[in-house]
Amino acid sequence: MLAEYFAERQWRGVSLEDAVRRGNDLEQTTGQVFTWLTSTNAGAAEICSAALRVAGIDEDELSTGYLCDPASKSPLRILARPGIKVRLTRNFDKQRGFVNGATGTVCESLRDNAVFTVKLYGTGNLVLVYPMEEDGMLFLPCCYGYATTIRRAQGASLSSGCIWFNQKRHAAGAPNRRGPRVPRPLLSKGHLPWTVFHADPDCWRFRRFTQIMVPERK
């Protein structure tokens, strides 16, 4: 029964960029923030790269960005363009919402890519992002906010998004060391599929999903 449920909600032959575009369309249609969840940090970086390409940012331009927080495990440099999604990675101002894990969009770049304002989702608060120094390294206390790992998202309130099991499968029904137990119907040969969902804001368990779409990964 669960296998049939997922089988009816599949995207076939959809590229990474097209999947990102469909996620953007869902966000605009539903008015809900669309979040991509992956099994690994590398998968999150791949989705963020695709989202930036869809936004018209190429690799040459990206290379001019500012170093993001090393704690985020992201290899991508930050380009502070209006509308770009970012995720904050440090607890600087809890009263205004500048806390680890908070997400929002860049509003205005005040000094190249080093200083900019971010409008936070949910509260609408504006926070100022600027470089910090740690262990002799200067970096921004943020990373791109299009995607994160399932592990990092534990405890978060998510209303809409996509889960991409982007690593080799374990034995059917076996615990995934980097994420939750994977339901048997989702297991596939090689990489696990994408799974797009809409869920209650405080619950994104599989049984609560109301919309599932699975584009194949070549």
For every residue of 150-210, which 3-state class applies, written as one string?
HHHHCCCCCCEEEEECCCECCCCCCCCCCCCCCCHHHCCCCECCEEEEECECCECCHHHCC
pTM: 0.76
Q: Is 86 within 8 Å of 78 (Cβ atoms)?
A: yes
Judge whether 44 lies within some domain.
yes
CA distance 45 to 214: 19
Judge whether 7 lies within some domain.
yes
* pLDDT for residue 48: 95
CA torsion through residues 64, 141, 27, 84, sign: negative
Look at the block and give the residue holding tokens 């999150």: 44
Judge whether 215 lies within some domain.
no
Q: Is 75 within 8 Å of 61 (Cβ atoms)?
A: no
Which residue, among 198, 145, 193, has the nearest Cα to 168 in the 3D structure?
A: 193
Domain tally, the chain: 1
* pLDDT for residue 200: 38
* pLDDT for residue 9: 57
Q: Which domain, by its residues, includes 196?
A: 2-208
Judge whether 213 lies within some domain.
no
Taking CB atoms within 8 Å and a gap of at least 24, the contacts of 124-128 are: 125/96, 125/97, 127/88, 127/92, 127/93, 127/96, 127/97, 127/98
* pLDDT for residue 14: 74
Judge whether 214 lies within some domain.
no
* pLDDT for residue 15: 80
Judge whether 218 lies within some domain.
no
* pLDDT for residue 151: 84
Angle at 14 between CA 76 and CA 47, to 5 degrees: 15
Cβ neighbour number for residue 168 with a 10 Å cutoff: 10
Contact partners, residue 177, CB within 8 Å, separation at least 6: none
Q: What is the pLDDT along the chain (218 residues), one digit of tens a residue?
A: 555 655 555 556 678 888 899 889 988 998 889 898 888 899 899 999 999 999 999 888 888 999 999 999 999 999 999 999 999 999 999 989 999 999 999 999 998 889 999 999 989 999 999 999 999 999 999 999 999 988 888 777 777 888 777 765 554 455 544 444 444 333 333 344 455 554 433 333 333 333 333 444 44
* pLDDT for residue 215: 42
Judge whether 42 lies within some domain.
yes
> Could you give the count of Cα atoms lying within 13 Å of 94 in the half-sphere of its Cβ?
1
Judge whether 96 lies within some domain.
yes
Tokens of 87: 């995720």
* pLDDT for residue 160: 80
